């Protein structure tokens, strides 16, 4: 009996020694939602997942660089690269999970063709998402950017603007709240969805499904091969998550890339 108790004690000690707490920062939907979906899967592997929600695009990266978070899940690769360059950070992609198509929304018009001269258009004010928004407006035929402007385009790079659209550069999280104050707004998926907006149903113009803006798990360089990070990515790149996304977002507002 004592031997059995001793063995049980050793097993409990081993479990405690190998238990791992993983702190991951995320924007609420769908990122935190998907992380909470896989908590039990990671717990079965001895990993306690703590999800910390953020509503901005800066703090989660600061926290990973400082070591206050093990990873974050909210951004795409162009944004991460731009952030590293601007801040001198060392964040890397540990795995791609999904794409949220950008879309142009409006509470005032029903079609891109209904936009009038000097219409006000709200766009994200962070570097890569601003460029992405302008590229979307170009694809919609509303503007033309100078050659080579690319992902880091700003309103200063607009070469042709037939409607003389007026751009309002606004923090991405605040964009849904501007819809009553502007004629239209280009809104990131992870802020459009919680606001009750569907790119497929409500978007005046929607980014193509071949978007390169894959949302990733980001970690500090050197941590991407840690067992717990790989377990996190594997759990997110699972049939369970794919099936959940397919059922929750049947209109393609969130699209898996695995």
- C-alpha–C-alpha distance, residues 187 and 176, integer Å: 7
DSSP bridge partners of 92: 219
Of 129, 127, 98, 91, which Cα lies nearest the Cα of 218?
Answer: 91
Q: What is the pLDDT along the chain (258 residues), one digit of tens a residue?
A: 444 445 545 544 444 445 799 999 999 999 999 999 999 999 999 999 999 999 999 999 999 999 999 999 999 999 999 999 999 999 999 999 999 889 999 999 999 999 999 999 999 999 889 999 999 999 999 999 999 998 889 999 999 999 999 999 999 999 999 999 999 999 999 899 999 999 989 999 998 755 778 999 999 999 999 999 999 999 999 999 999 999 999 988 899 999
> What whole-number distance in Å separates Cα of residue 81 and Cα of residue 75?
10
pLDDT, residue 15, reads 46
| pLDDT of 150 | 85
CA nearest 71: which of 20, 21, 22, 24? 24
| pLDDT at site 251 | 84
pTM: 0.77
The residue among 166, 255, 169 whose CA lies nearest residue 215 is 255
- Bridge partners of 120, per DSSP, are 166
For residues 217 and 233, give the distance between their C-alpha atoms in angstroms, rounded to a whole number. Answer: 7
């Amino acid at each position: 009996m004592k031997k059995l108790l001793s063995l049980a004690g050793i097993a409990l000690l081993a479990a405690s020694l190998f238990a791992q707490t993983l702190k991951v920062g995320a924007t609420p939907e769908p990122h935190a939602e998907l992380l909470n979906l896989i908590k039990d899967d990671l717990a079965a592997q001895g990993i306690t997942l703590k999800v910390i929600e953020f509503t901005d695009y800066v703090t989660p990266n600061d926290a990973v660089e400082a070591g206050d978070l093990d990873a974050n899940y909210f951004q795409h690769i162009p944004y991460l690269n731009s952030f590293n360059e601007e801040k001198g950070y060392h964040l890397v992609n540990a795995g791609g999970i999904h794409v949220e198509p950008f879309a142009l929304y409006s509470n005032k018009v029903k079609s891109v063709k209904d936009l009038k001269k000097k219409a006000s258009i709200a766009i994200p004010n962070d570097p890569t998402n601003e460029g992405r928004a302008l590229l979307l407006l170009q694809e919609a035929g509303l503007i033309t950017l100078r050659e080579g402007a690319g992902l880091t385009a700003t309103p200063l790079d607009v070469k042709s603007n037939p409607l003389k659209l007026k751009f309002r550069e606004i923090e991405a999280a605040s964009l849904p709240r501007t819809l009553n104050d502007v004629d239209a707004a280009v809104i990131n998926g992870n802020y459009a969805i919680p606001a009750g907006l569907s790119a497929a149903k409500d978007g005046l113009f929607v980014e193509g499904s071949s978007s390169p803006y894959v949302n990733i798990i980001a970690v500090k360089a050197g941590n991407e091969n840690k067992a717990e990070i790989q377990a996190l990515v594997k759990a997110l790149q699972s049939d369970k998550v794919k099936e959940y996304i397919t059922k929750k977002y049947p209109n393609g507002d969130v699209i898996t890339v695995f």
